[in-house]
Structure formats: C-alpha cells, structure tokens
Amino acid sequence: MRRLWGCWGVRPVSVVVACVLLPAAPAYALQAPTGAPDSGRMVRAGVTVQPTAQGDRLPNGPAARRSGTAEPRPVVGGERLASRGLVLPRGVKPPPKTKAAAFVVADADTGEVLAAKDPHGRYRPASTLKILTAVTLLRAGIDKNMKVKPSVTAVNQEGSAVGLKPQRIYTVDDLMLALMMVSGNDAAMALAEANGGLAATLRAMNAEARRLQAYDTVAKTPSGLDKPGQLTSAYDLALISRAGLAYPDFRRYVGTRLADFPAPRGKTYQIANHNRLLGRYKGMIGVKNGWTSKAQASFVGAARRDGHTIIVAIMRHKGYFWDEVAALLDWGFAVRGKAEPVGHLVDPLPEPALSPSPDGPKAAAPAATPSASATAAANPDGGTGDAPGAAASAESATSGVVPYTVGAALLAALLWIVTGLVRGATRSRGRRARRR
C-alpha cells in the first residue's frame, strides 16, 4: 500500500478534486454568463463593430446585418433607411441630384422622410454638431442672460471664431448667436465652460443625442472640430434640427442674418450669418453649415411655406452645395402629402429632463419636441448607434460559446486524471504479483 501511494502520491489530491469538480462541470458548461457587454465596442442590431481609430464611417444597414450573430433589430426610422444608396418614394418624380455622400429630405411637421441617400451612414459632422450643442443647452434651460467671461482656452480655439476677448463679459445669448451664425468655435467652448465645464457638456450632449434616438451621433467636442470617433449621420442631423426648431430661441439664433456683437470699450461690431440661403430662398428658417478638410461640407437647412416645414440635411459634399439644397427643398415642398414616405423621424424617448451639473446653470422645464406621425423603433440598426438593448442581445448570443468550451476542457482533464489512477493501480498490482 505504501508503494502504491508513494508512486502516485499526487493521486489522492486528484481524486478529491475530481469528486468535487465532476458534478459541477456539466452545470458550468451549460451556464451562459450574464453582465454588461464590453464597453470598448459598439453593438448595432446584432453586429459588433470595433471603433475606428480615424473616426471613419462605420458599417451600416444590410451589409452589417449579414455579419451579425443576433436577431436584427429594427432600423431607426424604418427598414428602408438601412440602405446605403438612394431611398426614393414611389409614384413621384425622383429628387434632384446632389453630390453629397448622404442626404435626407423630411417633412418636419409629420416627421415623414420623403427621400434619402445613405441616411444612417456615419460621417464627421464638422460644425453641424453645433446644432446638438445648442439644443442640449436650450433643453437644459441655460439662462440666456447669464454673464460669461471666456477663458484663455476658449479664446484660443482653432478654426472659425467670433473673436472673443478674455477681458470681455458676454451673455449666453451673445454666445449662442455667435455659435449658430458665424460658427464660433471660441463661443462653443465658452458656452461649454458656462454649462459646468467641457466634460459635463459633452456628457449632456451625448445623453441628449440618445434621448432623441440620434444613435449615429457621438460628440467629442462642442464645436465639431475633427476628433477621432466623433460622428453623426444625415438622419441624425435632421432629427436633432427638428428638435431644435421647437425652441423659439433656436429659430431666432439660426434665422438672424445680421447682429451686433460686443467689442472692447463698449463698442460693437456686426456679424453675418454664414447660411447663404437666408434672404435668398423663400421661407428659409435657417439652421447650420459646417466644413473641415476631413469632413468636407455638411449642412442642414429648414424652410417653411404655406404652413409646412421641410428639412434637408446633407453630409460630405465636396463642392458648392447651396443650389442643390435649394432644389431639394423645392422638391420636398412639391411632393409632401403626395409621396409615400420612405421612413420617419422618430420621437424622443420619454425620459426626464437632463440634470444640470453642480456648478452649471439651473435646469428649466424643456420645450416639447414635435412628434412624428408614426411609431418608430427605439433601437438602431447595424453600425448606427448605441442601443443598450441591442448590445445586450448581441453579446449574450455570442458569449455563451466560451462556457461550453471551458466545460469541455474541464471534463477532458478529469477523464485524464481518472484514467491515470486506473492505469497506476493496475501497474502496482502487477508488480506485487511478480514479487510474490
């Protein structure tokens, strides 16, 4: 007996381990883990997408769906909007051509999307992201009469600027006009600082995008200056702009053609709106243009005629786009009420108002966002947004493979231990028999 245990001294431990783990192995193998998905990935309608280092356009629509493992989720705004190509209504003449990589034409009153191209394609927003900045601050109830002294950081922002001075005091109203009229990056940073700081404002902007179901949008600056991973879509720009039009102050900011802006020593200077369709296109309300060398041109325009409002959003246009936008607006007014919609601008999620940051302005009751005419899905489709429900579904569908693999390996190891015990015992009995 001593010889048996001396030769297989490790085996008693193995027997105990085997007895303890063997009943548990099948249960572990059949148990799928629970928990939140990896925050380093974005999951869209059953497809897991790794964020790109350059913030380039991510997979979207049917192509992304085919590579997924979970049940596809509805596309925000309707299934036809998953297309990366033209999405046209039936029974009416097609919209005029545009060189934009993506566009949306929508009826702001009903929420009907009349035509689109790559509506959920994700592109760099440039200064059209300032639309979200303005909407976020207005919904938070920022006091437009609040006095703001810009920091050196705000004053020295690169790109387009209104010309803030660190020794000057401005009102929020001044800065909002500068933000939306002349695309002041300095004004964007000063407003973020007045709203409790840059980090707090960016959190609020991204939370507002989710509330609006603008799942294609990720804000990393308040100005829209290029930053890796900062993206939006033509659909989201139309959706966010529609929400902005519910605020009288927003309409005033985007529709003002000329304004006097404070200058040192009590003087003022005149600023002019960058929107070239104001005063040129009949019924033009305004909204916002943007451009960077990486993003190229983007623009959202809204116009109202005969009691109806049409929104046109374009992205990544490499040339002169003003005439093309005017033609798309004309087409929208001509076919609204006649064309079968290709999708819808969805309603915001029913969430409470954004809470102000501890050192930021006090929140007021938010203005109502116009409602769409049809119920739409709350979760985005492939490559277009952060829907927690879709993320959990996709993650649970794929992560269950890991426990099965580990369980199988554990069972194989236990079988190896038992086999070793049997063989060792057989050899020991054989040696004792020969000694006799």
Active site residues: 127, 130, 183
Angle between helices 11-21 and 401-435 (to 10 degrees): 140
Asked whether the beta carbons of 102 and 118 are under 8 A apart, the reply is yes
Give the H or E element holding residue 117. Answer: strand 112-117
Amino acid symbol at 310: I
| Token couple for 224 | 């829209």
Burial per residue of 395-414, b for 16 or more beta-carbon CB atoms within 10 angstroms, e otherwise: beeeeeeebeeebeebbeeb
Asked whether the beta carbons of 211 and 181 are under 8 A apart, the reply is no
d(CA 43, CA 388): 8
Greatest Cα-to-Cα distance within the chain, rounded to the nearest angstrom: 117
Q: How far is CA 287 from CA 48, 113, 303, in A?
A: 34, 18, 9
Give the H or E element holding residue 262. Answer: strand 258-262
267 a known binding residue? no
Asked whether the beta carbons of 138 and 250 are under 8 A apart, the reply is yes
d(CA 325, CA 323): 5
- The per-residue DSSP string of 85-103 comes to SEE--SSSPPPPP---SEE
Give the H or E element holding residue 382. Answer: none
Do the strands 296-305 and 308-317 form a parallel or antiparallel pair, or are they unpaired? antiparallel
Asked whether the beta carbons of 301 and 292 are under 8 A apart, the reply is no
SS3 276: coil
Phi-psi region of 88 (alpha: psi -120 to 50; beta: other; left: phi over 0): beta
Residue 391 backbone dihedrals phi, psi, to 5 degrees? -65, -45
Q: Binding site: residue ranges?
A: 288
Q: Binding site for substrate: residue ranges?
A: 288
